[in-house]
Amino acid sequence: MTNGYLPFEKPLIELRDKIVELKKFTEEKAIDLSEEIATLEKKAEKLEKEIYGNLTTWQKVQIARHTSRPTTLFYIRSIFTDFMEMHGDRLYGDDPAIIGGIAKLDGRPVTVIGHERGTDTKDKIARNFGLPHPEGYRKALRLMQQANKFGRPIITFIDTQGAYPGIEAEERGQSEAIARNLREMAGFSVPIICVVTGEGGSGGALGIGVGNRLLMLEHAYYSVISPEGAAAILWRDASKAQQAAEALKITSADLKSLGVIDEIVPEPKGGAHRNPDQQAAYIKKAIVKHLNSLLKLTPEELVEDRYQKYARIGRYLEPASKGSR
Amino acid sequence: MFKELFRKQRKYATIPSEQAKKEIPEGIMQKCPSCGTILIAKELEKNLKVCKSCGYHFPMSAPERIGSIVDVGRFFEYDAELLSEDPLSFPDYTKKLKQDQEKTKLNEAVVTGEGTIGGYPAVIGVMDSRFRMGSMGSVVGEKIARAAERATTKRYPFILFCASGGARMQEGVLSLMQMAKTSAALEKMNREKVLFVSVLTNPTTGGVSASFASLGDINIAEPGALIGFAGRRVIEQTVRQKLPDDFQTAEFLLKHGQLDMVVSRLELRDTLIKILEFHA
Ligand SMILES: [Zn+2]
């Protein structure tokens, strides 16, 4: 784990270490082991496919939570140019758990917003591990209103365990801050694209997540409740989080089949942290593609497109209506 | 206008539905969980389930609430036939739905429809906390969104009585997305300048509190109602300090600027009629 590998990756890592060892041995002792090495390399390739091709929900959660997983600031700097960060909600304070500002996407001005969980320990603490307070959502709202005013598309990056559950957060109206964002985001007449990059933690994620397009990284998860929280409610046992994660259907593939997300953005083998630059490129490609199609819509059509997206989500039975409408 | 108002008010009597009557057989006593006073169930019902000695507000079912607010015989239900599915094949969900349907005689955790209150037409929604703790799944979200859409089309005020533990875990992310769906419907209402009144009753928490419940042009709460985003236990575990006694009560929210008013259930109908009159 110290080198950033997850428990389920262990067999693969051991095999790769062995290959390195054999190669070194070949060099040092001038013995030809190329056949053995080739065999092992083939084996490693197969094992890699097996492991990363069949990740369980829980393994994906572990990747989504990986300490080295790239965060919003990295993606903003890689995907956009000329990023200017803006601060504060003009009401109470500046919440570093949500960052935002203006930037250019291939030269086009956009507004970018995202949860920022921080990179090193000090940064993580300062950013409250990406758990926002109401002022974070209100800063996001202010920046989105600004984008709407000046006709800039809005791109948001979702990566939070949830909105911060604290005394002050409740006093300052955590519920109202999120609720207002949901309503206002529904009404903006500019394109909105939301990307779930890591953890999509319930209302705290949704608070910057109402868009025309919802994209999700392959190993990200998005859930109404944390697997641990669900396990505590269901079985009074937070250690059964793995089971809860399966039951909640929280992977990108699950959300695609439930009709919630529009596209799964692939990850490099082993997860975004294995090749952050490649990951950023994948995300950029998806954003550009969807933005280009959204830019063909009129402001009214953009609002209606978003309305219909959410109106369609949900599963229920409606026996032959008696025409109550 | 005033004449009509008074005439309608005189007609005002609590006529709970048949099933609500059956739940509390006559003559049975009920203990107030707040002050311990033993109350006669029938009298408690007549007092809109408010404790006579301390003012504690007992939970109200959706039929009881409609009986206490809407003009007698003036309620036409919408979308009663909508039924939940089990989209995630979640453990025990179908069984629990069935249990709650039998217990409450309701199909789901919200009843929506239109009616008159003091003669004023309105679209009305009432959540019922007896059904899956009033949690919001696909059906609850869809019914509330449709009610808001009808209110917008008809230009009737929308009055929504919230009572919910939040989003419904058993429908996973589909429940979460109902927050966006309902809020989007309210955005349309807002744009069309149609009145939305949210009445927050005990409890209004989680995803419901963080969506439509907080979006009223006017937010009213019943005294003592638990209202908040995060659960008390989660907050205690996170901040590791004692929470104020009145934490997340209606009174706490009023003090912190999150509500327009806290109104006793005994005055709620009159208050709503006044608001409707202002916006007629
Ligand atoms: Zn009492």
- Rounded Cα–Cα distance for residues A146 and A144 (Å): 5
Write out the DSSP string of B203-268: EEEHHHHTTGGG--SEEEE-TT-BEESS-HHHHHHHH-SPPPTTTTBHHHHHHTT--SEE--HHHH
Cβ neighbors of A119 (< 8 A, separation 6 or more) are A71, A73
Give phi and psi for B264, each to the nearest 5. Answer: -60, 145
* Tokens 């953005």 -> residue: A265
Pick among A133, A182, A213 to test the B interface (most B CBs inside 10 A): A182
Task: Note if the pTM is more than 0.90.
Answer: yes
Q: Which alpha helices (DSSP H) does chain B contain, by range? A: 2-11, 18-23, 41-46, 62-69, 93-104, 138-154, 172-191, 206-209, 232-239, 250-255, 265-278
Q: How far is A286 from chain B (nearest CA, A)?
A: 22
Within 44-73 of A, beta carbons closer than 8 Å to B belong to none
pLDDT at A3: 67
Checking ipTM against 0.90, whether it exceeds it is: yes
Strands A192-201 and A154-160: parallel
Which B positions 188-247 lie with beta carbon below 8 A of chain A? 188, 190-191, 206-207, 209-215, 227-231, 234-235, 238-239, 241, 243-244, 247
SS3 label, residue B83:
strand
Interacting residues of B117 by C-beta distance below 8 A, sequence separation 6+: B69, B70, B71, B124, B159, B269, B272, B273, B276
Assess whether pLDDT exceeds 50 at residue B1: no
Average pLDDT over residues B176-197: 98
Question: CB A310 to CB B91 under 8 A?
Answer: no
In chain A, the domains with their CATH numbers are 1-26+35-54 (no CATH), 62-312 (3.90.226.10)
CA dist A79 and A106 (Å) reads 9
Rounded Cα distance between A67 and B276, Å, is: 54
* pLDDT value, residue A321: 60
Residue A12 backbone zone (phi > 0: left; psi -120 to 50: alpha; other: beta) = alpha
In chain B, where does the domain assigned CATH 3.90.226.10 lie?
Answer: 59-279
Q: How far apart are CA B58 and CA B51, in angstroms?
A: 8
**Going by CATH, does the domain composed of B59-279 fall within 3.40.50.300?**
no
User: What are the DSSP calls for A145-198, one per residue?
Assistant: HHHHHTT--EEEEEEES-S---HHHHHTTHHHHHHHHHHHHHH-SS-EEEEEEE
- 8 A C-beta contact, residue B46 and residue B16: no
* Regions of chain A where pLDDT drops below 70: 1-3, 321-325
Cα distance between residue A179 and residue B178, in whole Å:
12
Helix (H, G, I), strand (E, B) or coil at A143: helix
Query: Which tens digits make up the pLDDT trace of B36-73?
Result: 999 999 999 999 999 999 999 999 999 999 999 999 98
In chain B, the residue whose alpha carbon lies closest to the alpha carbon of A250 is B173
| Disruptive mutation site among A128, A310, A318 for chain B (greatest number of B CBs within 10 Å) | A310
β-pairing verdict for B110-117 and B75-78: antiparallel
Average pLDDT over residues B251-266: 98
Q: Does residue B3 carry a pLDDT above 60?
A: no
Q: B25 pLDDT band (50/70/90 cuts)?
A: low
B174, with CB counted inside 10 A (0-12, 13-18, 19+), is: buried
